[in-house]
């Protein structure tokens, strides 16, 4: 997923799915309680996790292909 840029609706949809899992596993319905459980279990919001993983991938890709002009052009876009 890190390679393909996601639109906000997909990111929100993924977060909704994650929240639904927390709700069902822990038998809670309140968004505040779900957020608290995610904090306790150190589960980052999907948007933050996605941005972090994408940045890590691009950094590694850039380091591995530093001398390749075509790869450098792809990284800029």
- Band the pLDDT of 43: cuts 50, 70, 90: confident
**Cα 17 from Cα 74, distance rounded (Å):** 31
Mean local confidence (pLDDT), 6-35: 88
Report pLDDT digits (tens) over 61-75: 777 766 666 666 666
H/E stretch holding 54 = helix 46-64
The overall pTM is greater than 0.75? no
């Amino acid at each position: 997923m890190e390679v393909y840029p996601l639109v906000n609706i997909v990111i929100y949809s993924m977060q909704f799915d994650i929240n639904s899992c927390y709700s069902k596993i822990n038998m809670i319905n309140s968004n505040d309680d779900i957020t608290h459980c995610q904090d306790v279990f150190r589960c980052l919001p999907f948007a933050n996790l996605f941005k972090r993983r994408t940045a890590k991938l691009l950094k590694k890709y850039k380091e591995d292909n530093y001398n390749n002009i075509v790869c450098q052009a792809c990284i800029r876009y």
